[in-house]
């Protein structure tokens, strides 16, 4: 089987070549490990019931509504993300469309990377 050509390491500022995975041997990717302080997520039937209740109460995307648009909500979003200390309770959720949810999630990930 052919092997791909080495490419520059994807670690910022590194000039080494990487053969697999985008990183050189000096800059391996961090393994994802759940933090011990991570909030407990609701799953299963309880989550599905909470989603149904949320979309019945708020059928439209809250962010689009604030901007004067009308879009059907498809995502249950935490107003204060669990990563940033929010709780998985009804008062910390809002209904968003997929586009607004993706934009909000990207902003949260960018904030998290800047904190590191």
Q: What is the pLDDT of residues 42-56, one digit of tens each?
A: 899 999 999 999 999
pTM of the model: 0.67
Band (pLDDT 50/70/90 cuts) for residue 27 is confident
With beta carbons less than 8 A apart as the criterion, state whether 93 and 82 touch: no
Cα–Cα distance for residue pair 16/13, rounded to 1 Å: 9
Q: What is the pLDDT of residues 92-113, one digit of tens each?
A: 999 999 999 999 999 998 888 8
With beta carbons less than 8 A apart as the criterion, state whether 24 and 17 touch: yes
Is pLDDT at 36 greater than 70 in this prediction? yes
């Amino acid at each position: 089987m052919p092997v791909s050509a080495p490419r520059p390491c994807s670690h910022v500022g590194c000039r080494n070549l990487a053969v697999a995975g985008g990183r050189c041997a000096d800059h391996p990717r961090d393994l994802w490990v759940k933090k011990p302080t991570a909030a407990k997520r609701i799953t299963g039937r309880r989550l599905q019931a909470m989603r149904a209740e949320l979309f019945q109460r708020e059928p439209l995307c809250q962010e689009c509504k604030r901007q004067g648009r009308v879009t059907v909500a498809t995502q249950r979003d935490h107003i204060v993300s669990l990563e940033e200390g929010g709780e998985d309770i009804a008062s910390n959720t809002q209904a968003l469309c997929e586009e607004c949810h993706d934009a909000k999630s990207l902003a949260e990930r960018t904030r998290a990377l800047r904190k590191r």
